[in-house]
Structure formats: structure tokens, C-alpha cells
């Protein structure tokens, strides 16, 4: 089934969603069908979000590709993911940071966290640590991080995530409720630089530093 990813990756490179060849290679290595519910496996290689339970989704392939590309992930980096979901995005990130890198991913739904961890372990992603908790607070014990990304849209950029980002690091997060924008934050010499990558559509980011009315 993973062969079905090739034409999608080729299209995403042609359309400019993927500029880094390593992102394309990572997408081709991760079996997306292993991360979706059994009854949706036939749709695993359609470039669209899919329901995974608890009102959450696995992001569309182009969005995972775009986020990985924007973050400029490199081997050996320590990355924090907020919103594990099914674990697919973490697996792609794990391919990019390599065995010497580390992906720390936080999921607020215990069942999703357990399911994702089981899948990631079965597929050999030993460089991923799954934490069940409030991702809007980051994960202080393993901070600081070279890269941080959030797979849900919040009302603002959570302050703990900025604090846990290394100087020279990058943070990518969707911000907004009805109209969301993908925002890249770079921390340089203690200063914050923002860049807007346009409108996106994500599930809401719920937590102490996120939305509280969902």
C-alpha cells in the first residue's frame, strides 16, 4: 500500500508543498495505513484528513509535508509535537531527525496516546516518546527543543512553548478559531520573529493555554 504514496509525493513536490527532498523520502518510508482505523485503511493514501476518534483527525498528507518542510527538520534534533493523534506525523518527524534525534509528543486523550505509542513501537520508532497530558504546557522535563509544532489551532501561541524553544529554534502552530493561520515563530537572540503561511483548518487546541470552551 505504501507504493500508493509515490504519486502523491510527486504531486506535492510539483505543487511546491515539498521543497526538501528529505521530507519526500520520509513520507515514502512511513506506512500511513498503519496509523488509521481499520475501517478507513482503504482511504489512507487519499490526501485528506481522516477521523481517528474523540473528534480528532489524522492530518492530510500535504499538511504534514508542508509543516515538516517549513520546520526544516534536521538529523539529531530534539522536537516537541503537541497533539499526537494517531502518531503518523510524529513518525514522519522521527524519520527526519533520525536515530540520534528525539521526538517528544504530547496527547491529551489517554486512549489515543496508548494507541499511538503501540503503533510507533510496533513499527520501530524508538526515538519517539509519547506523553499523555496537556500539550499547551509543552513538556518541561525534556526542554529545551530545537523544533516545536502543534497539530491543533489555538487562540494564541502558548507561552510555555515559546519558553521551551531553544534560541535559534522554530515553532509552527495554527492560530485562530473560525479563520486559522499557520504561524512560524523563530527565536533569535531572545527576539521573536513571526511569519504567516496562510489559512489552514485544524481541530481546536484545548488546554490551559488553549481553548477552554470545547
Catalytic residues: 59
133 burial type by CB count under 10 A (0-12 exposed, 13-18 middle, 19+ buried)? middle
Task: Report phi then psi at 121, rounded to 5.
Answer: -65, -45
List C-alpha distances in Å: 16 to 13, 24, 66: 5, 12, 9
SS3 content of the chain, % helix, strand, coil (to 5): 35, 30, 35
User: Distance (Å, rounded) from C-alpha 126 to C-alpha 36?
Assistant: 20
Distance in angstroms (rounded) separating the CA atoms of residues 203 and 205: 7
Amino acid at each position: 500500500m505504501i507504493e500508493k504514496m509515490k504519486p502523491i509525493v510527486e504531486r506535492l513536490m510539483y505543487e511546491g508543498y515539498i521543497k526538501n527532498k528529505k521530507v519526500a523520502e520520509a513520507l515514502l518510508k512511513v506506512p500511513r495505513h498503519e496509523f488509521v482505523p481499520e475501517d478507513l485503511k482503504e482511504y489512507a493514501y487519499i490526501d485528506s484528513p481522516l477521523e481517528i476518534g474523540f473528534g480528532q483527525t489524522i492530518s492530510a498528507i500535504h499538511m504534514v509535508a508542508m509543516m515538516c518542510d517549513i520546520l526544516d527538520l534536521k538529523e539529531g534534533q530534539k522536537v516537541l509535537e503537541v497533539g499526537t493523534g494517531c502518531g503518523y506525523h510524529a513518525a514522519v518527524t522521527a524519520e527526519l531527525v533520525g536515530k540520534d534525534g528525539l521526538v517528544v509528543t504530547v496527547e491529551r486523550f489517554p486512549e489515543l496516546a496508548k494507541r499511538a505509542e503501540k503503533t510507533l513501537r510496533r513499527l520501530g520508532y524508538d526515538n519517539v516518546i509519547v506523553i499523555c497530558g496537556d500539550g499547551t504546557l509543552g513538556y518541561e522535563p525534556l526542554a529545551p527543543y530545537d523544533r516545536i509544532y502543534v497539530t491543533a489551532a489555538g487562540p494564541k501561541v502558548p507561552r510555555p512553548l515559546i519558553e521551551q524553544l531553544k534560541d535559534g529554534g522554530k515553532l509552527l502552530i495554527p492560530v485562530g478559531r473560525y479563520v486559522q493561520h499557520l504561524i512560524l515563530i523563530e527565536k533569535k537572540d531572545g527576539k521573536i520573529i513571526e511569519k504567516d503561511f496562510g489559512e489552514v483548518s485544524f481541530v481546536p487546541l484545548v488546554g490551559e493555554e488553549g481553548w477552554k470552551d470545547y
